[in-house]
Structure 1
Amino acid sequence: MSDLKELRFYTTPAHDCSYLSEQQATTLFLDPEERIDHSLYSQLSNFGFRRSGKHLYRPHCGQCQACIPIRIPAARAIPSKSQKRVLQRNRHLKYKMRPASFEPQHYQLYERYINSRHGDGDMSPPTQEQYESFLTSSWEFCHLYEFFDDEKLVAVSITDRLTDGLSAIYTYFDPDYARNSLGSYCILKQIEFCRDLDLPYLYLGYWIKQCQKMSYKGKYRPLELLIDNQWMELR
């Protein structure tokens, strides 16, 4: 186990927040020269860090604590009625797991997804360089799940394996399947994958109560929030 006190971290200058228009944000990054292994990544995830490409980071804003790390206790997760309908609607889909490496077919789907769903966001316009720096990784604990309708690729979930769970990094899907609620479906499947692997948690990144784009994360129960470096259940 790594000694976190010996690690080096850096903060970014204040910049416009991507989620709350009235706020300035600061991000804390692990020194990219630090050697990141499975144990260190898992420890930092337990303290609210996330992965973006080869970098581990967490919000470090002085006046705002709106970004709250959250996770789902997989063994106790209970789908709502609407979530059960999502599972039923997509019961015919198949999946495969593979390393989080670049594939042209994946990028083509990602490009369509961003242009259709997030054309006004900071990830638009998408580029292959942006995609690779954000979502691919050569670390052996970083994977992705491909979801297929027959032979057609309809969704990809980038999912990292930790010592105590899975970390849901990002999901993108075919815009033509909007009524299938594939974003929710992929989270529900990742909860199942945690159970199959006997891993206790699915880490969902950050939840901002005031941000409509993140409201979907609050629909899973039970849900644990990291408050003052302590995980506690949302009731």
Structure 2
Amino acid sequence: MPELKFGLTAPLPCSYLPNEDEQLVFLLPDQPLSPKLYQQLLALNFRRSGEQVYTPHCPDCSACQSVRINPIDFSPSRSQRRLLNKAQRNELTHKFVDKPSADYFPLFADYITYKHADGSMFPPSREQLNTMLNCSWMKLHFLEQYRQQQLVAVTIVDTTSDAYSAVYSFFHPSVSALSPGILAVLYLLQCAQQNQKQWLYLGYQINECQKMAYKAVFRPQQRFIQGQWHSFG
């Protein structure tokens, strides 16, 4: 790995845990970023947002634990198989594509209004979405879910030689009962196995945050805790 330079953000209120502050270590601009380098950084608890690569570095908290799953070791639980069957009965299909098949903004706007009307992402804007959809140094893929040929959910996915990394998912409120976020992970695990990827990264798990709880149900998994990957069966 080349010598890299990092910065540290000022403390800000945490987006996930009340009464906590967050700080991020981030890669300074004009660094030699590439999918190969990012693959190494993923294994060290880093994530990507737009062109920025960062990792939590909070002095009094270590709740953020990166989660990854080996698709070869994974098999769906009984409840996950029921969900896959339910999705099939409801005529849900999916595609894994290397460029958007449609304008994602209407779906993104519906999702933000439905899920995050009280948060910093509201009101939704094309600029927000475009930041997620574009990265000059990273190859992106998109998991698209359809119901009766209508686009109802999208997951933005980073692609390296040995991994997929789920960046962000959004969906139409009409399919919320079908758990499109969980379905996205199950579909991505299928894609990762078919394409011989070693890992699917799901981002950070925070045990005390209900919004993150769904990640814990995918077992076996590994979590990055205090500088090392630990296995959870």
TM bin (shorter chain): over 0.9
Deviation at 1:144, TM superposition (A): 1.1
Give CA-to-partner distance per residue, 1:80-137, whole Å, 9 cap, x none: 2221111112234333333456x87201101101101121122222111112123433
User: Any gaps of 5 or more consecutive residues in structure 2?
Assistant: none
Shift of 1:146: 1.6
- Map of 2:6 onto structure 1: 9
Rounded Cα–Cα distance in structure 2 between residues aligned with 1:139 and 1:7: 16
* TM-score, normalised via structure 1 length: 0.92
In 2, Cα distance between equivalents of 1:13 and 1:190: 35
* Identical counterparts, % of pairs: 37
Tell whether the 8 Å contact from 1:100 to 1:158 is kept in structure 2 after alignment: no
Q: Is the 8 A contact 2:138 2:158 kept in 1?
A: no
Which residue pairs with 1:220 in the alignment?
218
Contact 1:67 1:206 (C-alpha < 8 Å) held by counterparts: yes
Please point out which of 138, 156, 165 is paired with 2:163: 165
- CA-atom RMSD, angstroms? 1.7
Q: Relative to 1, partners in 2 of residues 1:95 and 1:104: Cα closer, same or farther, differing over 3 Å?
A: closer
| Paired residues for 1:33-182 under 5 Å | 33-91=30-88, 92-99=91-98, 105-139=103-137, 141-182=139-180
The offset of 1:140, in angstroms, is 5.1
Tell me the amino acid that sits aligned with residue 52 of structure 1. Answer: S
CA drift of 1:66 comes to 0.5
Q: Is the 8 A contact 2:145 2:154 kept in 1?
A: yes
How big is the shift at 1:191? 0.6
Q: Which residue of 2 aligns with 1:20?
A: 17
- Is residue 143–residue 188 contact of structure 2 (8 Å, CA) maintained in 1? no
Change in 2 beyond 3 A, CA 1:100/1:206? farther
Give the gaps of 5 or more residues in structure 1: none
SS in 2 for 1:70: strand
Deviation at 1:139, TM superposition (A): 3.8
Letter in 1 for 2:10: P
Amino acid in the other structure paired with 2:5: R
Q: Is the 8 A contact 1:9 1:30 kept in 2?
A: yes
TM-superposed deviation, 1:182: 0.7
Q: For residue 140 of structure 2, what is the amino acid of its counterpart? A: C
Distance 2:49 2:208 in 1: 23
Contact persistence 2:34–2:138 (CA under 8 A): no
Asked if the contact 1:48–1:69 (Cα under 8 Å) also holds between the matched residues in 2, the reply is yes
Match of 2:191 in 1: 193
Counterpart AA for 1:67? C
2:69–2:222 contact (8 Å) kept in structure 1: yes
Give how far 1:63 is off.
1.1
User: In 2, are the aligned partners of 1:99 and 1:140 still within 8 Å (CA)?
Assistant: no
Structure 2: distance between partners of 1:189 and 1:139:
25
Describe the superposition over 1:13-63 as per-residue Cα deviations: whole angstroms up to 9, x where unpaired. 000000011111101111121121111010001111111111111101111
Q: Contact 1:52 / 1:135 at 8 angstroms: preserved in 2?
A: no
Q: Does the CA contact (< 8 Å) of 1:157 and 1:168 recur in 2? A: yes
- State whether structure 2 residue 227 is matched by structure 1 residue 229: yes
Q: Give the secondary-structure state (helix, strand or coil) at the position aligned to 1:76.
A: coil
